[in-house]
Amino acid sequence: MNGIKDRVAIIGMGCTKFGERWDASAADLMIEAAYEAFDDAQLDPKDIQAAWLGTVSSFRTGQPLAEALKLDYIPITRVENACATATDAFRNACYAVAAGIYDIALAVGVEKLKDSGFSGLAIPESPGADVNPPTPPPAQFAMAATRYFHQYGIPYEDGKRTLAQIAQKNHHNGSLNPRAHFQREISVDQVVDAPMIAWPLGLFDCCGVSDGGAAAIITTPEIAKSFRQDYILVKGLGLSVGAFGMIRDDWDFTHFPESVHASQSAYQEAGISDPLQDIDLAMVHDCFTITELIIYEDLGFSSRGNASRDVEQGTFSLEGDLPVNTDGGLKCFGHPIGASGIRMIYEVYKQLQGKAERRQLQKADIGLTHNLGGRPGSFTCSVGIFGRA
């Protein structure tokens, strides 16, 4: 196995403003993101040879991308892999370029969630016996919080404060980012006192439901040089799909094995031995505050049971040892499901190029993205690692 390290490069990226984009259709969002990427790469859309469209519920096929961008007669595939959708569209494009099938490929992720009239996620399900309990995502992840507090003997009030610090950090970062869904800082007390959504998670423990799109143009490092000097290299891609669901009665609910497997395989590919030392920034799947807390441990940033302490010490803030969700994360930047993975790559790409404006980190050589699709017990997790040429 050769792996993906240094075999493909990103030469252009785009990301729309996320949020309640009443003004924009899913097609509008794809055009906005893709044309920013074309401009960024200074590339003519005619040079795209193949494309992958990631979306969970906005489109069923790849064709709407062809219609929106007029990408006549090139192969386009729609990818759907829950919250890991966009990263997986990106991953497929990378592999096709690395395999030498295409020179230049486009990956677009998009989601239009705010046309349903419903504030939560409204994703249609296949017909079935319909006996599974109604478990909106907050209820699913809240069960991990309940168990995490229990396992580590964390009093409810302390646990809530730790989680609130994560939300507060991500809102702070997002407030520095004009493209983020939410533009305001929030206080720890506000988070703790917010209305309950799924106990123990309150309103501000949950990420936003947003519209948005993001796009990436992938090519070989050789071709990349002809476009720009500050292209970004893919160093590793991991994808791990869980198989045991709720069935195993020895699973502890306080770690997500899919995150461990996906990150380990990406670390191996990228040659990362000490993630806390080797990685300069990480965009992780903070669909809920508890998810980000557990991710710190699953990705090896914190040792088991000690993520709370590291949060307290500010390890993951913009000024910390390993800034996490510098763009605001799902919590503040928003979560149009099929777009989020490429949005994360967009922030890493900008940080590595030194173009992250007010959020710019001093040291940004190696960045990580992490998506977690599905529910505790049966996740689809993708991890990407990126570095400069």
Beta bridge partners of 81: 83
Q: Answer yes or no whether residue 127 interacts with other proteins by CB under 8 A.
A: yes
Q: Answer yes or no whether residue 130 interacts with other proteins by CB under 8 A.
A: yes
Q: Answer yes or no whether residue 131 interacts with other proteins by CB under 8 A.
A: yes
Q: Are 289 and 261 in contact (CB under 8 A)?
A: no
- Site map (CB under 8 A) of other proteins, residues 179-208, x = contact: ----------------xxxxxxx-------
Single out the catalytic residue among 83, 94, 207, 381.
Answer: 83
Q: Which residues of 146-170 are buried (b: 16+ CB within 10 A; e: fewer)?
A: bebbeeeebeeeebbbbbbbbbbbb
Q: Is the dihedral of CA 21, 380, 341, 46 positive or negative?
A: negative
Q: Answer yes or no whether residue 358 interacts with other proteins by CB under 8 A.
A: no
Q: Answer yes or no whether residue 4 interacts with other proteins by CB under 8 A.
A: no
- Comparing CB distances to other proteins, the nearer of 143 and 279 is 143
Q: Answer yes or no whether residue 156 interacts with other proteins by CB under 8 A.
A: no
Q: Are 168 and 313 in contact (CB under 8 A)?
A: no
Distance CA 133, CA 165 (A): 31
Task: Pick the binder of other proteins from 46, 184, 248, 355 (CB under 8 A).
Answer: 248
Beta bridge partners of 367: 281, 386
- Comparing CB distances to other proteins, the nearer of 50 and 206 is 206
Q: Are 386 and 352 in contact (CB under 8 A)?
A: yes
Residue that has been written with the tokens 């690692």 in this structure: 385
Annotation says 83 is catalytic: yes
- Comparing CB distances to other proteins, the nearer of 33 and 191 is 191
Q: Are 280 and 367 in contact (CB under 8 A)?
A: yes
Annotation says 150 is catalytic: no
Least Cβ distance, residue 248 to other proteins (angstroms): 6
Q: Which of the residues are catalytic?
A: 83, 335
Write out the residues near other proteins by the rule CB under 8 A.
116-120, 122, 124-125, 127-136, 138-140, 142-147, 150, 195-201, 243-249, 253
